[in-house]
Structure 1
Amino acid sequence: MKLFHFSNESDIEIFYPRVKSNRQDMPPVVWAIDEEHQFTFFVPRDCPRIIYTRSNDMCEKDIDRFFSTTTSDIVMTIETGWCERIKNATLYRYELPSESFKLFDECAGYYISEEIITPIQKDAITNPLDLLLQLNIDVRFTPNLHPLRNAILSSSITDFGIHKFMNAQPIEASISAPKNRILS
């Protein structure tokens, strides 16, 4: 099994366990993600995004609502303001030895280790948007993630991730934005 850690930093030689700000109840750990789910980190670290996957337990109404305009089983939605940052991003994918890691969240592909970890390999990813498209992921941009978040939380979708939502634009930003229309 391959495990990875993604960073904006190019010079990490050792990963030390640490307590995450949103996981104060946990001991210090090193976080990793499995190969299957690594695409969820093909954006800058602080980029707010919502990723959802088609599953058999979804009701027909939600399949139609969330997947009728795509042939992909995975949709990643990102706020429009992050488009240029993603295009210009260089991300660093560190491969980590898997021996000391334990599964933390199977749905998300997260693993944790309480040990100090030395990476096996480092790869620079210079065009992450292209990688997402090559994986047949439906990448969508929206001015504001709040309406999608609310829709997903009240749907039958069970396989989803809402990442770095604290960095999303407030809902008021999209309501008060000027409505420019292009007419042809």
Structure 2
Amino acid sequence: MELFHFSEERDIDIFIPRVKENRTNMPPVVWAIDDAHAFTFYFPRDCPRIVYTRNEEVTEKDNEKFFGLTCSDIVITVETHWYERIKNTTLYKYSMPSEQFQLFDESAGYYISTETTKPIHKEAISNLLERLIALKIDVRFTPNLNPLRDAILRSSLTDFGIHRFANASAL
């Protein structure tokens, strides 16, 4: 299994466990993501985004509402003013030693380690939107994520992630 850590920092030699600002109830850890979910990090670190996936639990009404005119099973929506930054960002994909990590959240593909971690390999990746499109992901832009977040939280969608929402525009 391949695990990765994505960063806009190009020169990380070692990852030291730390407490994540939105998970202060956890001990310090190093975070990684599996290959199947890596696309959810093809964005600048602070970019607010909503990722949702079609599955059998989605009602017909919600399937029409959220996936209506797309054949993609994955939709990612970001706020319009992030477009240029996404387009111009280069990320660094650090390959992590999977034997140091334990599964934290299977549906999100998150893994954690309490050990200081030295990455195995680093790769610069750019053309983030093109990478998402090549994966047949429906990438959408909206002036404000709040209406979508509210609709998802009231829906039958169960496979979704709301990332960096504190950075989203206020209503």
What TM-score results when the alignment is normalised by the length of structure 2? 0.99
**Paired letter, 2:30:** V
Please state how far the C-alpha of 1:100 moved relative to its aligned partner: 1.4
Shift of 1:18: 0.5
User: Aligned partners of 1:149, 1:27: CA distance in 2, in Å?
Assistant: 29
Determine helix, strand or coil for the equivalent of 1:108.
Answer: coil
Alpha-carbon offset, residue 126 of structure 1 = 1.4
Is 1:88 the counterpart of 2:88? The answer is yes
Gaps of 5+ in 1: 172-184
Secondary structure, aligned partner of 2:98: coil
Tell me how far apart the structure 2 counterparts of residues 15 and 57 of structure 1 sit (CA, whole Å): 38
* Structure showing greater Rg: 1
Q: Could you say what secondary structure the match of 1:107 adopts? A: coil
TM-score in terms of structure 1 length: 0.92
CA RMSD between the two structures: 0.4
Work out the CA distance in 1 between the residues paired with 2:83 and 2:32: 25
Shift of 1:68: 1.3
Q: Which residue of 2 aligns with 1:174?
A: none
After superposition, the C-alpha distances for 1:54-110 in whole angstroms (9 at most, x for unaligned) are 000111000011111100000000000000000000111000000010000011000
Match of 1:99, SS?
helix
Partner of 1:175: none
Q: Report the counterpart of residue 107 of structure 2 in structure 1.
A: 107
Aligned-pair identity (%): 66
The letter for the 2-side match of 1:123 is: E
* Residue 159 (structure 2) pairs with residue 159 (structure 1): yes
